[in-house]
Structure 1
Amino acid sequence: MTVNTSPPGAVKKIGFIGLGIMGSHMAANLIRAGYDVTGYDVVPASVDRLLQAGGKPAPSIAEAVAGAEVVITMLPDSPQVSEVVLGPGGVLESAAPGVLLVDMSSIAPETSIAVATAGTEKGVRVLDAPVSGGEQGAIKASLSIMVGGSAEDFAAAQPVFEHLGRTIVHVGGHGAGQTVKAANQLMVAGIIALVSEAIVLLEASGVDGERALEVLAGGLAGNRILDLKSESMLARRFEPGFRIDLHHKDMGIALASARAAGVSLPVTGVVAQLVAAARATGHGSDDHSALLTVIEQLSGRSA
């Protein structure tokens, strides 16, 4: 990606809070695009990566936010977002009126709505903008970004989003982005479960899994999980691109959203239990494709 020393639009300075597996690559892409990025994370190694990418480390949330026109948060769950944004010394206490806060974490819709309400009281504009695409999507700036909030604030953030993702859609008001992300996560987990079942069936039947998945990927059964994860799943390599722990959290959000909407998601309920089983059997820090291990255990085929 070539460096653009004059970023599009009015935004020049970005505060970035949460420099983990996803956030570190996203911040690096913004730096390469020519933005002045100041970042904060509780893990020193994450801040060091930002410095190596050309960003400016901040010793506190307040200093990461100081002078920023846009603040991006990329955090694990609702409690962390509430603490970082609403807590003492947090974003809303530190940000100047008119700042655009873009929360790209995957959290409960009601938390996003609460953050937006509190932001309005402080004169801070808020978008919820969770992403899909995993670590590779963050590295390649090819994420799908689902955005909730006002159309005006979405338009203001669009130039920044374009350096982070390829599919960028305003899906509705505050919290809508999180609802769409919940739908995304239930679909991803369900597809991983079915790919896992296909692998177990093929291997138990003596069929070459690699060749079988190749032909499946070319037909109606083709999907992104097969494209991106079939090789590592067949090899039982589960280095985390997106951890089971986080997907377990997201499946809880999906089920809670279904309850709030008054709808039944029976397949999601079953898959959520499979994800919970993967976590309970010690795979929480593994990639979500480690769901394969649970399907193998149910079939008595685990190593």
Structure 2
Amino acid sequence: SGFTVVVYNRTPERAVSLLAAGASTADTPREAVNGAEIALVSLSDEAAVDALVLGPDGVASGLADNAVLIDASTVSPEHPVALARALSARGIHFVEGRVLGNPGHARSGVLRIMAGGSIEDVDAVWPLFEALGKQVHHVGPVGAAASLKLVFNLLLATQITGLAEALALAQRAGLDRSVTLRAISGSGYSSPVMSFRCGLMATRSYEPAAFRLALMAKDVQYALLKAASVGVTMPVIEASHAELASAVASGLGDKDLAAVLEVQEAAAGLTDQPNQPSQTLEVTA
């Protein structure tokens, strides 16, 4: 897409495919962004963002004056406001670039991107967003994109925890597991993300994770904290979070979100269920 790309990853082996695609790598975040006009970070949580951006040899120490930092991490709405303030003191602009999509979408450049920041700063990085995604929306000032990303993730969390509960009930009621998943996946009640995870549940293919279960539990917790601060009660989301937290406590945190099914089936006494052939489902990402 015409961009020169230098990559830093805390786990170097994860950058190998990018090297093959023409990127170069660096040993530190500072080295990766040395003199760059735009930097993009995507990390697991707020502590990781702060350490990589503001810490010793961090991104902020290597960027050029008036450069733009884009954060694609899923964080609380308050975090980007504080980060933007810290970066502004160093002469660095800040834009949120929260994304919807799985690793396959990222590789294909078809993410959906929610941008947050000033019009001028978002416009400055718009060509990069267009290279990364098929839809780009400027949703408001800094903090707005983080809020909207959490809203989307709440919808995903409730869909998949609800799917896990429904499938456990279906099996206990005597329905065939494969038939049930096929019916749900192809119905008007489904969605692209639900159909995708029907396929993962059918074969218990939870690794590599398209969306790690532990990260979803973290995101829902961020949303619950925000809801409490603005006086919104969310009993359905609280119940969904409890299921996710139970799955993480059971050692499933690094597996895909679909693995929450394992907790539901175990609670229902549905252990040692055989895998089902993936060709019985019409699956879309």
TM-score, normalised to structure 2's length? 0.89
Identity of matched residues, %:
34
Cα offset, 1:219, TM superposition: 4.2
The one-letter amino acid of 1:108's match is S
Matches within 5 A, 1:193-212: 193-212=161-180
Task: Confirm whether residue 97 of structure 1 aligns to residue 51 of structure 2.
Answer: no
Task: Confirm whether residue 158 of structure 1 aligns to residue 126 of structure 2.
Answer: yes
> Unmatched 5+ residue regions in structure 1?
1-32
The one-letter amino acid of 1:62's match is R
The one-letter amino acid of 1:144's match is R
**SS in structure 2 opposite 1:246?**
helix
The one-letter amino acid of 1:34's match is G
Task: Confirm whether residue 51 of structure 1 aligns to residue 51 of structure 2.
Answer: no
Cα offset, 1:93, TM superposition: 2.2
Match of 2:261? 292
* CA contact 1:104–1:128 (8 Å) conserved in 2: yes
Cα offset, 1:297, TM superposition: 2.2
Match of 1:267? 236
- How far apart in 2 are the matches of 1:49 and 1:217? 32
- How far apart in 1 are the matches of 2:164 and 2:35? 48
Among candidates 244, 251, 261, match of residue 282 of structure 1: 251
Cα offset, 1:180, TM superposition: 0.9
Q: 1:218 to 1:50 in 2, by over 3 A?
A: closer
Matches within 5 A, 1:1-303: 33-239=1-207, 240-303=209-272
The one-letter amino acid of 1:238's match is Y
- How far apart in 2 are the matches of 1:98 and 1:146? 22
Deviates more, 1:208-217 or 1:89-98: 208-217
Deviates more, 1:228-237 or 1:71-80: 228-237
- How far apart in 2 are the matches of 1:247 and 1:147? 21
- How far apart in 2 are the matches of 1:285 and 1:219? 29
**SS in structure 2 opposite 1:122?**
coil
Cα offset, 1:292, TM superposition: 0.7
TM-score, normalised to structure 1's length? 0.84
**Residues matched between the structures, number:** 271
> Unmatched 5+ residue regions in structure 2?
273-285
Q: Deviations over 1:154-180 (max 9, x none)?
A: 122221111212222111111111111
Cα offset, 1:41, TM superposition: 1.4
- How far apart in 2 are the matches of 1:217 and 1:44? 37
